[in-house]
Amino acid sequence: MHTPPIDRPRPFGVLVLVELRKLVDTRSGMVLAAVAVVLSGVFGAGAVLYRQPATLGDIALLAAVPAGTLGPVIAILLVTAERTHRTALTTYALTPRRHRVLLAKASAVVAVSAAITPLALAAAVVIGPVGSLATRSALVWTVDASDLFRSMLVNIALALTGYALALAIGNAPTAIVVVLTWPMLVSLLRTASPTAGEVLQWLDMAVVGEDVPRALTSFVVWVALPALIGFRRVIQAEVR
């Protein structure tokens, strides 16, 4: 008697690759990627112009700023794309275990945000000499590895914040507004009230790599709790 083959789940690595492709598979994703590349060049060139003498590390850190800022937005769009483009039914039909899809999205977000810093360093290797020749200024070929590593950790943390908020809220515009306006709100509150500033330091993801207790508190508030809420919501929701 012939036994039908068991439908085995796709390898997790394949799911991650699929989610990575989704990052640039839409018009908004391609536009954001293009904007990040252009602005990275502009910011890197700015380091050559306004920091004398500029170091390779300075150029890389500034070149990573635009992509790091847009990282949470890209993460939000990746999470909410299933609902926006009405592809959730197909995605979960191919991968019924929804938590694997969500973890694959998180892995894709981490991979992309971690790649920002080394890519910015590679861009700095090109921008630095060209800018040095154009401005006739010296270029110092030194890199502070600890600063670059901290930049990478901050980018990952911020991208995961966008990922978690998108899961919890389920709406891209709202999540994007929260991610982009929160730093400005914190700055205003710190200026208006030093006491509020001290409290808000415990909710600042930018302290990753500097202050472990505050970084862990921020991670729990901005990533862990929203992600848990979002996982439960997505797993229990009716697929449409």
**Measured distance CA(125)–CA(112) in Å, rounded:** 20
CA distances from residue 45 to 37, 59, 60, 186 in whole angstroms, order as listed: 12, 7, 10, 29
User: With 80 as the cut, is the pLDDT of residue 38 above it?
Assistant: yes
**DSSP-derived secondary structure letter, 224:** I
Rounded mean pLDDT of 156-165? 95
* Residues 100-144: tens digit of each pLDDT: 999 999 999 999 999 999 999 999 999 888 888 887 878 889 999
Nearest to 155, CA basis, from 33, 61, 43 = 61
Residues found in the chain: 240
Cis bond before residue 9 (omega within 30° of 0): no
**83-100: b (≥16 Cβ within 10 Å) or e:** beeeebeebeeebeebee
Nearest to 230, CA basis, from 113, 103, 108, 86 = 103
pTM: 0.89
Rounded mean pLDDT of 212-218? 90
**Measured distance CA(151)–CA(209) in Å, rounded:** 9
CA distances from residue 147 to 58, 62, 82, 152 in whole angstroms, order as listed: 9, 12, 36, 9
* Residues 164-204: tens digit of each pLDDT: 999 999 889 999 999 989 888 888 888 887 787 778 888 88
